[in-house]
Structure 1
């Protein structure tokens, strides 16, 4: 964890003191969020109609919920049903657009901080609907459906708003969502279901549970696949520049890796030659260096120590609860493709 994440999620005396010190700034931020929300709720800030049906996928917290793999899954489902979706995202860090291009080849991936303009570009590119990656707070664009993700692993410790905690908005904001998706990586099915039930009782919003499970390993150089048992008994250097690195390390341990040396960087970290040299030294006695796909798109082009292979984990989204709610949202987006721009969505 970074120092800030230790303050957000830690239970030590130092973490508590840190949160207390940041409490005044948290109250200022929370007041600004409430004011902005009220302005949108009262239509004093404008919500613009999109030229295409929009599925917005986002979260309440800063990173670590799996919105990119869930967005990629939604794109795949829409394509399977005959749609021609495009992905529109801000593109912060430069890794997420590359991940989407790998997960859904042929799908237009557009980076634009102005999601309305991005949706117009998507229509010009031949898309008939749009999936917005990380857009729950982007209320300027109307949406046909809203999915909000919550991490089962961090739900109970995610109680403070920025900067004292990771929350961008309070939990009450989930009321704007069509579906609240509880994602789990190493949390049990029971734990994730308890989180979903608590959200339903608190906010009265439909919930789904999705397991972001490892599918197989891929060699970052030649794209050959390896089964999950390839790390059983292996010594692994695990690299993660994602929102929840400890969950990734725990997944490798669950797969049977004998020794996992986890090296975490800040989310969206831009790897340098010095980073590669550090990882190569750490992996001198290892069987492999394993990272996430999000890291591989930046790390692989620089990976020179061929003696130690660089693998990334390919994940799959397994819907364990609430599939009917997700299917209904997707059906709503598909049906809205015949709507005019003025009716394709409601304010969110």
Structure 2
């Protein structure tokens, strides 16, 4: 089963190069202007103190972005939780939990961290404190301004959309000027070369000169078999036929990563947070018989794995590592300050 027509429509209309997208963009532009005006009014109300903010009662770092999906919030939030655990803290990851997949990913990557799900971050923080959390990590917290935070880490994808249009004509939840609220900006890349990420870092530095800027490569690490945990070297993908399964915010970046690793890819993409059905799995298992590997992301594996038949072609996921290419001292320093604040 390929990506539904409605989802392909959304993807095409955000690309600025086709006549189709230009037409749809023109139709939706008035709604985007209204949305942008509402966002600016809301932000101004928080900036003036008209809207109240609330302390979460623990040192807090927010990991967020300006666009819809695909920047790497989940792996970065897990990375912060891992670093805080290594520093001797008991972190809690607070998230809204759209679709439930990010919850499962966090529990898989950081099993020793608390993971608290809820739309009300204030209530979630109280629950985390009651369970002994010493530091809080807000996954996708940039727009949740009611919750106070000690640091705002905003992710910008170097692989991102070309258009800068606001919702619904484009993927932007906030205008680029909102980056000035960030204390730290992390430029993430998957398929973009290092030089391209450096150019994006320079752009955001000029836009938000007070923010500390880092560059992170969400780098492929290994092929991991879901049911056994067996790991294989990425070199085995060279020339291999890969059935690529992904339901993430930026599926093209994932497919491109596998192609760069040498795989011959047949992609089956779905909307972000897609709930796979039994029929989906049966079709994917059937499609996988002509492939050397059935490969997905960890975000997809936590949902597909329990449904995958043991007798079928094994399901593998591409594990990632957070490789800091620039600004490691900035992110490490933030972790140290959060840990120190937990005991003041």
TM bucket normalised to smaller: over 0.9
Aligned to 1:228: 234
Give the structure 1 partner of residue 4 of structure 2.
Answer: none
TM superposition shift of 1:33: 0.3
- Rounded Cα–Cα distance in structure 1 between residues aligned with 2:241 and 2:178: 43
How far apart, in 2, do the equivalents of 1:93 and 1:103 lie? Answer: 18
2:174 equivalent to 1:135 = no
Are positions 1:254 and 2:287 aligned together? no
When the two structures are aligned, how many residues end up with a matched partner? 337
Matched, 1:196 2:210: no
How do 1:31-50 and structure 2 match up within 5 A?
31-50=37-56
Q: Report the RMSD for the aligned CA atoms in angstroms.
A: 1.2
Summarize deviations over 1:53-72 as a string: whole Å, max 9, x none. Answer: 10100000000000000111
1:266 maps to 2:271: yes
Are the counterparts in 2 of residues 144 and 332 from structure 1 also a CA contact under 8 Å?
Answer: no
CA contact (8 A) 1:72 1:104 kept: yes
Which residue of 1 is the match for residue 33 of structure 2?
A: 27
Provide the rounded CA distance (Å) in 1 between the counterparts of 2:311 and 2:258: 22
Establish whether residue 116 from structure 1 lines up as the match of residue 122 from structure 2: yes
Cα deviation digits, residues 34-63 of structure 1 (max 9, x gap): 111011011111100111110100000000
**Post-superposition CA distance 1:200-234 (Å, at most 9, x none):** 11221321100000111111111211111222221
For the 8 Å contact 1:280–1:305, the answer to whether it is kept is no
> Of 69, 78, 88, which residue of structure 1 is paired with 2:94?
88
CA distance in 2, matches of 1:320, 1:284: 39
Match of 1:12 among 5, 14, 18: 18
1:79 correspondence with 2:70: no
Structure 2 portions without partners, runs of 5+: 1-6
1:174 paired to 2:179: yes
1:25 deviation in Å?
0.5
**SS state at 2:319 partner:** strand
Aligned partners of 2:54 and 2:148 also within 8 Å: yes
CA deviations on 1:254-289 (whole Å, 9 max, x unpaired) are 1111x2001110000000011112212322211121
Change in Cα spacing, 1:46 to 1:278, as seen in structure 2 (3 Å) is same
Q: Is 1:165 aligned to residue 170 of structure 2? A: yes
The runs of at least 4 consecutive aligned structure 1 residues that moved more than 6 Å come to none
Instruction: Give, in whole Å, the separation in 1 of the partners of 2:176 and 2:16.
Output: 20
Aligned partners of 2:95 and 2:138 also within 8 Å: yes
Q: Which residue of structure 2 aligns with residue 316 of structure 1?
A: 321
TM-score (norm 1): 0.94
Farther off after superposition, 248-257 or 222-231: 222-231
| Contact 2:179–2:207, Cα closer than 8 Å, also in 1 | no
- What is the alpha-carbon distance in structure 1 between the residues aligned to residue 289 and residue 56 of structure 2? 52
Greater alpha carbon shift after TM alignment, 56-65 vs 217-226: 217-226
What is the CA–CA distance in structure 2 between the aligned matches of 1:139 and 1:252, rounded to whole Å?
37
Cα distance in structure 1, aligned partners of 2:45 and 2:287: 52
